[in-house]
Chains A and B, each alone.
Chain A
Amino acid sequence: MTDHALASAKPAPKSLDHTRSRSVPIAVYLALAWLIGMVVIALLADVLSPYRFTAPDLRNRLSPPGNPLHWLGTDELGRDVMSRLFVSIRISLLIAFGAALISAFLGTVLGFVAAYFRGVAEQLVLMLADFQASMPFLILALSVLAFFGNSLPLLIGLMGLFGWERYARIARGLAISASAQGYASAIHQLGARPVRVYLRHILPNIASTLIVMMTLVFPEVILLESSLSFLGLGVQPPMTSLGNMVGFGREYITRAPWIMLAPAVTIILTTLAVSVLGDWLRDRLDPTLR
């Protein structure tokens, strides 16, 4: 409110973006900085890690943080917690990014299919969406893992089924209202094929909403992956992920809580950062969402 009042009181602002960028809260900068840091760590995990994440240091087992050799301490085999943390960040982010992209793609395609064909196809998509939304995803995921065993590609694919129904519902609703608008029918009249209308014209118009949706789903994907890995049913050793580290660290919670705390704090701060950024983006780009 005050921002608007200030903006209108001042002599014509140069551009809308200019006035907007001034009111970015500090929390958003912090969130962005944290996420960039996470991505950098994920990309450069090999270079940044002081040790190999599986390398034991038997003379320094369960060493507390602050050890000049191991800044974040070591675990029960003397493996460097910081190195393990870096590799875990890489794996967890890889799964979360992969899954978020798959579910955004799947949901948008199904939403467009529903919007284009209407009728039976639409009812089918909506029914599947209702079904997906009404089942706790963790249970579905656990059943699939029980039947098929576990591997990283399967895990990413499985996580990619999480949240598609939200993209589908939104993409469908927006595409239906967009195709009723002048620009879509104009392009259609010009002779563009439906695929072109949807991908080149409608998609860019609704992309901001879908991106906001992605930031809302992303933290949940991270939590889901870490929960599965915590239960010992997600990422399997010797590979490590954030949830996995917490799960194994829990056995040393009395003697060496840092093994568990380092990844736990990372999970919390990362989901928090994405949420802060997502809320801010939502307010900027699309206040109608929730």
Chain B
Amino acid sequence: MGRFIILRVGRALITIALVVTFAFIVLRLSGDPAQIILGPEAPPEVLAAFRRAWGLDDPIWLQYLHYFGAIAQGELGRSMRDGRSAIEIVAERIPITLALTVPALVLKLGIGIPAGVYAALHRGSLTDRIVMIVSVAGFTIPSFVLGLTLVLVFAVQLGWLPSGGQDSWRHAILPILTLGIGGAAILARFTRSAMLEVLGQPFIRAASAKGVPWQDVITRHALPNAAIPTVTIIGFMVGTLIAGAVVVESVFSWPGVGRLLVVAVANRDLAVVQCILLLVAATMVISNLIVDFLYGFLDPRLRSAKGQKAAGGQP
């Protein structure tokens, strides 16, 4: 178990390092970092001092190490637009985004998992077909089309809800629905296929053959095993809590992290973009780590190094 934890934490750190490297390469390829971090209006003497302070005349590998060090200390630069620290700007948007994504996640789990399990248990029934059709729609309808359709129906035609902005809880309903419906459809399809796969296993037949009531076969044998693949996709959804609403926030003019990212990209406000990129990477890595530990908890087979190799060796 100790080895398992060390391996996973090590992999998480490597992923973070890869993102930082990615940011470094992209940053260096796109121009003079001093200019980029300080902004175009920085006076030449400040630029020169910055170059000296950051060692931009050093060999590239040394610069790379310095860059790493700076990021480790939370030195992420300042926004080109108002000169405030990028972290500060991003941090104040996080709760605004979470106000959408957390209820949406609850909606996804609350609808997606029961629908998927029910569809699997009643394979071929009318409900199963409806769940499958809706989940295919969830895959093929882009979130901005779903969002705009909801606006067209509930804001324009019926006039029940506002079409955009962030003034009251009523403004949050349509974006949450847009995020939730799409995610629930994907989760339902995933849960259904995980459940179907487990239901086809010999141990399910064995359990019901030895006289375990069907109810218990489902709750004791089928659900825990189906939970293992489902946890992966839930982990991904948790990881996207901060930046998973880029498109939906734009549709509904919701001033969260996603909207900030789009505006920052359009204005080429690189410090802010870099800060969001690293923040997203960190959340993804942490949620993956939690998923990995949950795996080990849910499935003792994966705890051993051998099981891990087998899992990694699958095409």
Q: Which of B15, B144, B284, B315 contacts A174 (CB 8 A)?
A: B315
Interface membership of B281, Cβ < 8 A = yes
**A142 contacts B315, CB within 8 Å?**
no
B42 interface residue per 8 A CB criterion: no
B285/A139 in contact, CB under 8 A: no
Report the Cα distance A127→B19, complex, angstroms: 12
Question: Can you name the residue of chain B whose Cβ is closest to the Cβ of A111?
Answer: B315
Task: From the candidates B29, B145, B262, B268, name the one contacting A246 in the complex (CB within 8 A).
Answer: B145
Bound-complex Cα distance A271 to B137 (A): 10
Instruction: Please measure, in the bound complex, the distance between the C-alpha atom of A24 and the C-alpha atom of B314, giving whole angstroms.
Output: 31
Is B14's CB within 8 Å of the partner chain A? yes
- A290: nearest residue on chain B (CB-CB)? B193
With contacts A147-B29, A227-B247 known, what are 18 further pairs, Cβ within 8 A?
A: A126-B312, A134-B15, A134-B236, A136-B243, A139-B261, A143-B23, A170-B315, A173-B315, A219-B139, A227-B142, A230-B142, A231-B250, A231-B262, A232-B266, A246-B144, A267-B145, A268-B140, A275-B140
21 contacts between A and B (CB under 8 A): A131-B15, A134-B284, A134-B288, A135-B19, A135-B280, A136-B239, A138-B246, A138-B247, A139-B243, A140-B22, A142-B265, A146-B264, A147-B27, A148-B29, A149-B268, A173-B315, A177-B315, A250-B144, A253-B148, A267-B145, A272-B136
Decide yes or no: A231 and B141 within 8 Å by CB, A144-B26, A169-B315 being known contacts: no
Kindly state the separation between the CA atoms of A275 and B186 in the bound complex, as whole angstroms: 14
- Scoring A residues 241 to 260 as 1 if CB is less than 8 Å from chain B, else 0, what string do you get? 00100110010011001001
- Please indicate the chain B residues that have their CB under 8 angstroms from the CB of A264 in the complex: 142, 145, 148-149
Interface residues of A in 114-167 (CB under 8 A from B): 126-128, 130-131, 134-136, 138-140, 142-149
Contact with A along B151-181 (1 / 0, CB 8 A): 1100010000000000000000000000000
Q: How far is the CA of A227 from the CA of B146 in the complex (A)?
A: 12
How many A-B pairs fall under 8 Å by CB?
133
Alpha-carbon gap, A230 to B237, bound state (A): 22
Report the minimum CB–CB distance from B241 to chain A (whole Å): 11
In the bound complex, CA of A55 to CA of B269 (Å): 35
Decide yes or no whether B103 CB sits under 8 A from chain A: no
Chain B interface residue count: which class?
35 or more
Q: Is the interface of B mostly helix, strand, loop or mixed?
A: helix
Contact of A173 with B246 in the complex, beta carbons under 8 Å: no
Contacts of B143 in A (CB 8 A): 227
Q: Which of B89-97, B104-112, B270-278 contacts A (4 or more CB under 8 A)?
A: B270-278
Q: Which of A139, A223, A290 contacts B246 (CB 8 A)?
A: A139
**Provided the pairs A136-B244, A219-B140, A227-B143 are in contact, do residues A143 and B26 lie with their beta carbons within 8 angstroms?**
yes
Q: Which residues of B contact A290 (CB under 8 A)?
A: 193
The interface bits of chain B over 7-34 (1 if a CB of A lies within 8 angstroms of the residue's CB, else 0) are 0000100110011001100110110000
Assess the B152–A257 pair: CB atoms within 8 A: yes
* Assembly CA distance A194 to B246 (angstroms): 45
Q: Is the CB of B19 within 8 A of A230?
A: no
A231 to B263 CA separation, bound complex (whole angstroms): 10
| Pick from B18, B261, B269: contact of A127, CB under 8 Å | B18
Q: Judge whether A146 and B140 touch: CB under 8 Å.
A: no
Residue of B at shortest CB range from A267?
B142
Would A253 and B156 be within 8 Å (CB), given that A147-B29, A230-B247, A268-B145 are in contact?
yes
CB pair B244 A142 closer than 8 Å:
no
B265 touches A146 (CB 8 A): yes
A136–B247 touching, CB < 8 Å: no
* B213 within 8 Å of A (CB atoms): no
Kindly state the separation between the CA atoms of A174 and B313 in the bound complex, as whole angstroms. Answer: 11
- A130 lies within 8 A of B15 (CB): yes
Of the candidates A172, A177, A227, A233, which one forms a contact with B266 in the assembled complex, judged by CB atoms under 8 Å apart? A233
Shortest Cβ-Cβ A-B pairs, 9 listed = A173-B315, A147-B30, A146-B265, A271-B140, A146-B273, A264-B145, A272-B140, A143-B277, A131-B18
Q: Are A148 and B315 in contact (CB under 8 A)?
A: no
Partner pick for A142 among B30, B261, B312, CB 8 A cutoff: B261
- Which residue of A has the minimal Cβ distance to B264? A146
Contact at B277–A139, with CB atoms within 8 Å?
Answer: yes
Check A108 for interface membership: any CB of B closer than 8 A: no
Q: Give the residue name and chain of the B residue nearest to A148 (CB).
A: B30
| B residues less than 8 Å from A88 (CB atoms) | none
User: CB distance B265 to A173 under 8 Å?
Assistant: no
**Contact for B240 among A136, A140, A174, A246, CB less than 8 A:** A136
CB-CB nearest in chain B for A206? B315
Residue in B140, B148, B149, B314 whose CB lies within 8 Å of A173: B314
